[in-house]
Amino acid sequence: EDKVVQSPLSLVVHEGDTVTLNCSYEVTNFRSLLWYKQEKKAPTFLFMLTSSGIEKKSGRLSSILDKKELFSILNITATQTGDSAVYLCAVSGGGADGLTFGKGTHLIIQP
Amino acid sequence: DTEVTQTPKHLVMGMTNKKSLKCEQHMGHRAMYWYKQKAKKPPELMFVYSYEKLSINESVPSRFSPECPNSSLLNLHLHALQPEDSALYLCASTQDSRRSYNEQFFGPGTRLTVL
């Protein structure tokens, strides 16, 4: 059975801190790993990673994939209260495959 | 138009009602998805339509019936639901199901309550 495991499940930090969220996976068919941010409603797309060692960056967020060790990390630097959300990691087998999600990391940024 | 829209935003229904959820995208995406998300849990895949044909049904009970009338529209027909079916129902789409790498973009969801 496909498995996506995120850690930590919850994290409370102060504004300005840097956080690292982890995602490991065991799936039969891997094509890409995706990160989403979910606040009250729909998950919003952050990154899609397909190749090992290539960092994707968007502002204060960055992510990297290690296909040999089967994990990814999402880094957020200089955190702000608006970064408070659940961060979901998901794996795709490609094509029209649905996504298999981890349980998410609930991140709370305190002022 | 770069978004997935869903209607209604909220729905309350009794166990004997028949209702439908609607999802629309005008991005030319050819794969569309229904996910179910219970409180404090990740989304779980229900159905996938690829080029308007049902390609994945994750053993969903028959009281949920998907329909894809055209490439922009995806419906989920609901009949004789149970209270445990109360959840956020998310629609997603992706550009081309023939490609290996596809970002999925989600709609805002319909929050369903079954009484």
Q: What is the largest CA-CA distance in chain A?
A: 42
Residue B40 is encoded by which pair of tokens? Answer: 């404090």
| CA A46/CA A57 separation, integer angstroms | 9
Answer yes or no: is pLDDT of B99 > 80.
no
Predicted local distance difference test score (pLDDT) of residue B102? 77
- Counting residues of chain A whose pLDDT is more than 90, the rounded percentage is 80
Query: Which among A9, A3, A41, A42 has a CA at the least distance from the CA of A24?
Result: A3
Instruction: Report, as an integer, the average pLDDT of A45-52.
Output: 92
Q: Is A48 on the interface with B (CB under 8 A)?
A: yes
Predicted local distance difference test score (pLDDT) of residue B101? 73
A87 and A8 Cβ atoms separated by less than 8 Å: no
A41 and A50 Cβ atoms separated by less than 8 Å: no
Note whether B102 contacts A95, CB cutoff 8 Å.
yes
Q: Which of B106, B110, B111, B112 to mutate to test the interface with A (most CBs of A within 10 A)?
A: B106
**CA dihedral for B22, B48, A106, B101, sign (positive or negative):** negative
The predicted-structure confidence for B4-24, as pLDDT tens digits, reads as follows: 999 999 999 999 899 999 999
The predicted-structure confidence for A59-75, as pLDDT tens digits, reads as follows: 999 999 998 999 999 99
